[in-house]
Amino acid sequence: MSIFLDSSRLEEIEQFHRMGIIRGVTTNPTIMLKEGVTGGMDGIRRRAREIAEMVAPFPVSVEVTTNDASGMIDQAKAFSDLAENIVVKVTIHGPQGELENLEVIHALETVHNIRVNVTAMMSAQQCFLAAMAGATYVSIFGGRVNNMGYDSSNEIARLRNVLEGANLKAEIIVGSTREVLNVIEWLDAGAHIVTVIPDILRGMLVHPYSKETVQMFLRDGAAFEKMLHE
């Protein structure tokens, strides 16, 4: 069980990596755009390489920006050439439910020797098919599942059970964190990995009562410092 960071911000990744609490990084085009990555496809590749170097040998997921089959394969090759720890993210199907993505995923894993993280999935059944196609990681968006009125923990538990029953190698990444509680609840349900946004990770770490306790220790500790000068 482990935690990845869902971010493309170098300073934030470095901060949490230096603490030793993350075991990988996930990105997507929306995160990169929102977080100010510029320079077109070169900009994505540059940022991906910087993150990959920073956290190596931990995996860094970078997503293709097209749904054209040969375009996905070309981008996947270009991303995976950047560093050994790059994993390529491909969505489970196209924007209108086009089906060629699984064929691409299968080819990337079995012909091109590229590790794939299949993304944008909302159900155990989608993840199972992605795992059957050979995906290294299957990403289910727990927060969005909950928002649709389904129970993400139940979906994760059933998925873990099915993957083990079918002896599939895929690891479950649960993303789309919305609350601090999600991290432990999804790991407890059977996720191999939860990919966490920085704010949630900070929320896990800092507790108001811990702050108050630390303040008490420092206040009382200072009394001892003062004694030395009395």
Residues known to be catalytic: 89
Rounded to whole angstroms, how far apart are CA atoms 105 and 112? 10
* Residue closer to ligand E4P, measured from CB, 179 or 214: 179
Sign of CA dihedral 40, 120, 153, 145: positive
CB of 28: closest distance to ligand E4P in angstroms?
4
E-only strand ranges, 67-190: 86-91, 116-121, 137-141, 171-175
* Residue closer to ligand E4P, measured from CB, 72 or 193: 193
C-alpha closest to that of 162 among 206, 131, 203, 208? 131
Closest residue to ligand E4P, Cβ-based?
175
* Residue closer to ligand E4P, measured from CB, 75 or 139: 139
CB of 193: closest distance to ligand E4P in angstroms?
10
Contact residues: ligand E4P, CB under 6 A = 6, 26, 28, 119, 139, 141, 143-144, 175-176, 195
3-state SS of 134-163 is CCCEEEEEHHHHHHCCCCHHHHHHHHHHHH
CB of 36: closest distance to ligand E4P in angstroms?
16
| Cβ atoms of 179 and 201 closer than 8 Å | no
* Residue closer to ligand E4P, measured from CB, 8 or 75: 8
CB of 175: closest distance to ligand E4P in angstroms?
3
Burial classification of residue 34, based on how many CB atoms lie within 10 Å of its CB (0-12 exposed, 13-18 middle, 19 or more buried): exposed
